[in-house]
Structure formats: structure tokens, C-alpha cells
Chains A and B, each alone.
Chain A
Amino acid sequence: MTTTDLSHTPLSQEESEEAQRYFSASQFQLIWWRFRKRRLAQTGALILLVLAFVGLFAEFFNPYGGTTRISDAILVSPQIPRFCNDAGCTLRPFVPGVVSKRNEETLRMETVMDPSVRRDIYFFVKGEPYKLLGFIEMDTHLFGLKEGAINLFGTDSMGRDLFSRLLLATRTSLSIGIVGVIIAFVLALIIGGIAGYFGGWTDYAIQRLTEIVRVVPVIPLYMGLAAAFPKEWSSTQVYFAMTLILALVGWPTLARRIRGKLLSLRGEDYVIAARLSGAGSSRIIGRHLLPAFMSYIIVDLVISFPYMLLSETALSFIGLGLRPPTVSWGVLLQDAQTVRAIEQAPWLFIPALFVVVAVLSFTVLGDGLRDAADPYQVSD
């Protein structure tokens, strides 16, 4: 972009300042400005922030713990808070009570809503003690009932509150995505960076290696690695192993893109100038090359999130991923594997909605960022 001396131009003061800012803006500022124009991407970002926030403080937003079984309340359908019933309206929201009855035909115990019972919702109630962020001891929950149980998203077949479990699962799933992407990124950066910078034989060997990892179908490969987890591993160990695997299988794509970008930047004037002036390899990579395509990397990171999320969900769904008591979206969806589940307890699919929304948000955010970072690049 050419810088312009605008001092003579009879543009209005405001306009010329705007233009002036435009021309002197850094790469990041430019991207930010263009990004601000993209509503859809912003919406995506907002949704993700909310999800992350709620997930991070899940214990506070939860009325119950993830494994707490609410007695009798098996497969309760979602209780929707309301302000009015036959007896009139109040400012305080409430949910209808739940009662267990024996079904006359099947003779099974069933839980049904009883609209005549009114259970008021209170805010900042004391409940199960927990450790916020793992170390702050608290027992205040955002909302809860004084009597009976509230199950906004219903309960599962073991009588656990789906809403509470879902918030905890959100944290697990998002954190696996984040940690996985970061590890994959570091691997990709090191490997792709080496390949892209040195070129030649090093590049060739690394290229072949990534090619081999890339031809093996991803999920079957994950499955093979996941099958190797010892049965006696704790759920935390599985969690970390799983993240690592996701990263291990995820790096080649990122590495390829980093390498491609580096190779094209390597020949640019300022890099050659830096090299001629005697700067060392690592210095050139760190000082000149990385900043130049930081924006592309961020875009790539955002774009690779959905793969991590979907892979985790798929793996846990088929029972090769995370194990109870850890909950993730995929683990929750294990309860929703059959058509019968759709018929009997459709609310068990609410976690799928979260998966879809999260992946969509990451996708539109990634697209928006990519367009903002490089409006003229169309493909790949």
C-alpha cells in the first residue's frame, strides 16, 4: 500500500484522518477494522465467548453437580420456567413440579409434570459445595429450588440433571479443542517452520512424513490410538491422552499451511535483506517471518477447532474417547445413539445442538477472520 501525503488535499479533516489512519495502520488493525464489518463472524465470536464463560464457571451456573442423581427423576422432560399458571402470574419464575406415577398399561414408574404444583425458582441459592475454577470453595449456585428439583433440560436415564452435565461438558469439550489446537499448533509450527524455512532435503523428508500421516483415515487412526489406552487409566489420564492424540493427528494440515506460507515469504525482499545483513536463522524466523503471517495462523487455528470438536464428539460417541465420570458433549450423546432415544427422550439430543452451534460459530468466525485477514484470497 502506498503512503500518501494528504496535506494538500481538500478532503474534510475527518476524512483525511480516516484515510491517514487507514494507511498507517498495522496489519492487525486492518484486520480488526475489516472484521468489525462482519456481523456473522462477530455473532460467532460472541456465542463462543458465552459458551466458554459459562463452561468455565459451570459449577456456579449449575444447580447440581455432574454426577448428582436426583432421586426418582428418571428421564424427566425439560421443565420450562414460566411466570403464570392457572392461579395467576407472579414476578418470580417457577417450574411445574415433578411426580412419579406408575403407568397403568406398562406398569413402569414414570415421571410426569404436575402443573398444579408450583416450585419457585430462587437466585443465588445455597446448594452443593464446589470449588470454583478448582480452588475457590463455594456453595452458591446461580439458581435453584428450595424444594424439589429443577431440570431445565430434563434428566437422563440415571436421573442426572442434563443442564448441569451439559455445562460441565461444554467446558471439557471446549478445553480439549483449545489444548489440542495449541499442541497441534506448536508441533506444526516447529515442524512446518523447519520445513518451510530450510527447504530442500529437510523439507522433502518432512513433506513425505506429513503425507503419510495424512493418508491414514483420521478417525480410524484416532480409534486405534485410543484403543490403546489402558482400561485402568483414570478419566483425567484419558482426557490428556486424548487431547494429545487429537493434536498428534491434527498437526500435518496446519504444518502444511505454515510451510506453504513460509516458502512464499522466504523469497520476499525484506527477508532476503535481513539474511544479507547477517541475521541468524532463528532470528529471521522469529523476528521477520512469524509476525508477517501471525494473522494467517490465527485464522488457521480458528478453522481447525471444529475438527477437534467433531473428532472428540465422534470418538466419545462411539465409546473410544472420554470415559465417565468425565462428561463431554460426545459422552452425553452416547445416551442418544438410538432411534428409540429420539422417541422417548428427545431432549437427550440437546448436547448435539451445542455441538452444531459451537462448530458453526467457529466456522463463521474462521471465515470472517480469513476474509478480514486476506480479502483477496479466495481459495484454500
Chain B
Amino acid sequence: MENIKEKTDDNLLEVKNLKISFKTDEGIITAVDGVNFTVKHGETLGIVGESGSGKSVSTWSIMRLLPKNSIIDKKSSIRFRKKDGKVVDITKLKARSKELRKIRGGEVALIFQEPMSSFSPVYTIGNQISEAVLQHRDVSKEEAQEIAIDMLDRVGIANPRQRFKQYPFELSGGMRQRAMIAVALSMNPALLIADEPTTSLDVTIQAQILELMNELQEELGMAIIFITHNLGVIAQVADKIEVMYLGKILERGTTKDIIQNPQHPYTQALLKAIPRLDHIGERLNAISGDIPSPLSRPTGCPFYTRCEKVIPGICDVKMPNPTKLSDTHTVYCFLYEEKNV
């Protein structure tokens, strides 16, 4: 197994051996298998991977938001350092405990890919922000309203007083995502999980939101886990990156390691898939082949069915061990394991 030799005191979050399965009609689906990562205070971790690679599942589990048919393996641990300095293992908390409720929002907040459906359509934006504030701060209704309006203002929504009284469907997509960020930040979390916050927005608004998040992070000093399937986006925000595929981490490193010196064939393929302004007109290099169904997950390296450099008889037998390329850069691939051995 992997050794995480890091000063644990710095770590806000330590996820170890995370394995999550779902009970379904078709059988048990293992969506995330043996994932490790850490997040330090004030740091931004990026998680990239194609659709279905388990990005959402592994991060939502930090707040225990997975549906009832999910099973978190007993050997998994999600250790989180709370504001009062105590470290809790979130996987061990009771589903309905007050402690978990305090962590949800108060310590870790989440913003979703779809700002439209993450607001309830029958309550005003203001109602839903105030609810969050009242849940985590000891303030009166009026104070909560002021905090909410102030927060709307801070995320760059013009006329916050008026917007406060409006319904989600009266706001534009970009505006809704700003409001969603306002909800999350109004609770003053130490860690913000942004699950593809810009995917459903068009490019200019996407850039604005990214900038806003960078600004707010500097201002408020929280850590961020930023999830996306676009390496181009993540390069703008993350300090370090985990590359995920079919529930496993395939490569990990600083943003520089991953973007400038990608080693895993999957990471390389993902990088080629980014549409680039200077290459307009060239065929977009999407990775060929289909993602295997989660029901028939390949043994061995999950990527071997689509890998150009597959080594038959090796890659399809067992999962490669981690290979440390530098202090910060680790890759899970037999191409490098062999060189080291």
C-alpha cells in the first residue's frame, strides 16, 4: 500500500482507501475503489476524469450525501480537521447525528454542476440562503437576511436586495451559480467542494465564475476541491491534481507536473482532448473507445481497454503499484513501474 508521508497537522482532509459501492437491481457496482487524497488548509485540489469516473461519488461522501443504496467500505477513512482542531472520521459518524449536520455546510460546503436544479423552485433565493445562514450561525432572521444580501453582493450579483426576493427561475444561469456560491460561502466553510461548477455555463461566464472563486478563496482562505472533466479549466485554479478513471486514481501531482509533464497515457489523452484556441479547425482529439460499463469493470488497470500503450498480459491482470516520479508526482502505470524495478 501507499505511504502518505505528510505532516498530518497541515492536512484539513485525509481520505484513505476510499471504496464506495452501490447496491442496484443489476448487482453491486463499485464506483470508487481505493482512492487516497489529502487537502491542506487553503489549498485547491483539482480532480479530473471523464464522466462516470467517480469524482462526484468520492467527494460527496465527504459530506455523506450519497443515496441510501451506497456502501462505504469499512476500511475506508475520511479524516477531517474541524475548526475547533478536533479530527473526526466522517465515515464513522451516524447518518442523522448533529455532528454530521454541523459539518455539512458549517465545515464543508458543496456547489453543484446544475445551479438550476440545486435550488428548490418554490422558494426564493433569499429564503434558501437565509436557511443556510440560520442553520450555522447564531443570528436572528433579520441578521440572516442582511448576511445573505451582503453575500449576494460579494459574489457579484447586482441589486442583491431585489434578487433576494426572486425565484431561481427568474435568474440567469451564471447568476444562479453565483447565488449557489453565495449559499455555500454564507456558512463560512473551511472546505468548499465545487462539483463541476462551470460545466453548464458558457465560456465567458465560466471564466467569470472561475475568477470569482479565486478571489473569494484569497479573501476567505478556504480550501477547495475542484472537480471537472476539463484539464484546461483545472489548470487555472488548482494547486495539485488527481486524475481519476473508473473509480481509481491514475496519476497525481502538482498542476505543473500534470499539465506540463503528464505521464499516464490517460492523462496525456485527456490533455489532447482539450479544445485549444490555437488549434481551431483541427479535429478534437477525444479519447477513442467507450468507457466500460461500471457493471463489467475490467480487472487490472481500468484504462487498458482503451490504452494505446497497453502491455498485453500485464495491464489486464493487476492494478499497477504507484510509481513516484518526484516528491510530488506519482503515477499508476506499468510503463513506469517496470523502469523502476
A interface residue numbers (CB < 8 A to B): 1-6, 8-11, 15-16, 19, 23, 375
Contact status B305-A8, CB under 8 Å: yes
Is B311 an interface position by the 8 A CB rule? no
Contact status A8-B298, CB under 8 Å: yes
Besides A6-B292, A19-B293, 14 more A-B contacts (Cβ < 8 Å) are A2-B290, A2-B293, A3-B290, A4-B290, A4-B292, A4-B296, A5-B289, A8-B304, A8-B305, A9-B292, A9-B298, A10-B316, A19-B296, A375-B25
Residues of chain B in range 98-120 having any CB-CB distance to chain A below 8 Å: none
Residues of A within 8 A of B290 (CB): 2-5
A5, A9, A11: residue with the most chain B Cβ atoms closer than 10 Å: A9
Residues of B within 8 A of A375 (CB): 25
A2 to B292, CA, bound (A): 8
Number of interface residues of B (CB under 8 A): 14
B298, B316, B317: residue with the most chain A Cβ atoms closer than 10 Å: B298
A3 to B305, CA, bound (A): 13
Residues of B within 8 A of A5 (CB): 289-290, 305
A8, A10, A19: residue with the most chain B Cβ atoms closer than 10 Å: A8
Residues of chain B in range 288-328 having any CB-CB distance to chain A below 8 Å: 289-293, 295-296, 298-299, 304-305, 316-317
Write the nearest CB–CB distance from B313 to chain A, whole angstroms: 11
Residues of A within 8 A of B293 (CB): 1-2, 4, 19, 23
A69 to B218, CA, bound (A): 96
Q: What are 28 A-B interface contacts by the 8 Å CB criterion?
A: A2-B291, A3-B290, A4-B290, A4-B292, A5-B289, A5-B290, A5-B305, A8-B298, A8-B305, A8-B316, A9-B292, A9-B296, A9-B298, A9-B299, A9-B305, A9-B316, A10-B298, A10-B299, A10-B316, A10-B317, A11-B296, A15-B296, A16-B296, A19-B293, A19-B295, A19-B296, A23-B293, A375-B25
A10 to B292, CA, bound (A): 13
A10 to B293, CA, bound (A): 14
A16 to B317, CA, bound (A): 17
Residues of B within 8 A of A3 (CB): 290
A8 to B295, CA, bound (A): 15
Q: Which residue of A lies closest to B305 (CB)?
A: A8
Pick from B289, B296, B317: contact of A6, CB under 8 Å: B296
Residues of B within 8 A of A10 (CB): 298-299, 316-317
Residues of B within 8 A of A1 (CB): 293
Residues of A within 8 A of B295 (CB): 19
Q: Which residue of B lies closest to A7 (CB)?
A: B305
Residues of B within 8 A of A16 (CB): 296
Write the nearest CB–CB distance from A30 to chain B, whole angstroms: 12
A5 to B291, CA, bound (A): 10
Q: Which residue of B lies closest to A20 (CB)?
A: B296
A116 to B166, CA, bound (A): 86
Residues of B within 8 A of A2 (CB): 290-291, 293
Residues of A within 8 A of B299 (CB): 9-10
A9 to B317, CA, bound (A): 10
A5 to B298, CA, bound (A): 11
A10 to B289, CA, bound (A): 18
A4 to B246, CA, bound (A): 14
A1 to B295, CA, bound (A): 12
Residues of B within 8 A of A4 (CB): 290, 292-293, 296
Pairs A-B, 3 closest by C-beta atoms: A2-B290, A19-B296, A9-B298
Write the nearest CB–CB distance from A371 to chain B, whole angstroms: 10
Residues of A within 8 A of B305 (CB): 5, 8-9
Q: Which residue of A lies closest to B293 (CB)?
A: A4
Write the nearest CB–CB distance from B103 to chain A, whole angstroms: 31
A19 to B305, CA, bound (A): 16
Q: Which residue of A lies closest to B292 (CB)?
A: A4
A19 to B292, CA, bound (A): 12
A9 to B291, CA, bound (A): 13
A10 to B313, CA, bound (A): 11
A3 to B295, CA, bound (A): 12
A375 to B289, CA, bound (A): 28
Write the nearest CB–CB distance from A46 to chain B, whole angstroms: 23
Write the nearest CB–CB distance from A35 to chain B, whole angstroms: 13
A11 to B298, CA, bound (A): 8
Write the nearest CB–CB distance from B123 to chain A, whole angstroms: 22
Q: Which residue of A lies closest to B52 (CB)?
A: A2
Residues of chain B in range 217-265 having any CB-CB distance to chain A below 8 Å: none
Write the nearest CB–CB distance from A133 to chain B, whole angstroms: 43
Write the nearest CB–CB distance from A36 to chain B, whole angstroms: 13
Residues of A within 8 A of B25 (CB): 375
A73 to B289, CA, bound (A): 79
Residues of A within 8 A of B289 (CB): 5
Q: Which residue of A lies closest to B304 (CB)?
A: A8
Q: Which residue of B lies closest to A34 (CB)?
A: B25
A360 to B295, CA, bound (A): 36
Q: Which residue of B lies closest to A16 (CB)?
A: B296
Residues of A within 8 A of B291 (CB): 2
Chain B positions 7 through 31: 1 when the CB is less than 8 Å from some CB of chain A, otherwise 0: 0000000000000000001000000
A6 to B290, CA, bound (A): 11
B25, B293, B299, B317: residue with the most chain A Cβ atoms closer than 10 Å: B293
Residues of B within 8 A of A15 (CB): 296
A23 to B26, CA, bound (A): 13
Q: Which residue of A lies closest to B297 (CB)?
A: A9
A2 to B317, CA, bound (A): 24
Residues of A within 8 A of B296 (CB): 4, 6, 9, 11, 15-16, 19
Write the nearest CB–CB distance from A6 to chain B, whole angstroms: 6
Q: Which residue of B lies closest to A6 (CB)?
A: B296
Write the nearest CB–CB distance from B235 to chain A, whole angstroms: 29
Residues of A within 8 A of B317 (CB): 10
Residues of B within 8 A of A6 (CB): 292, 296
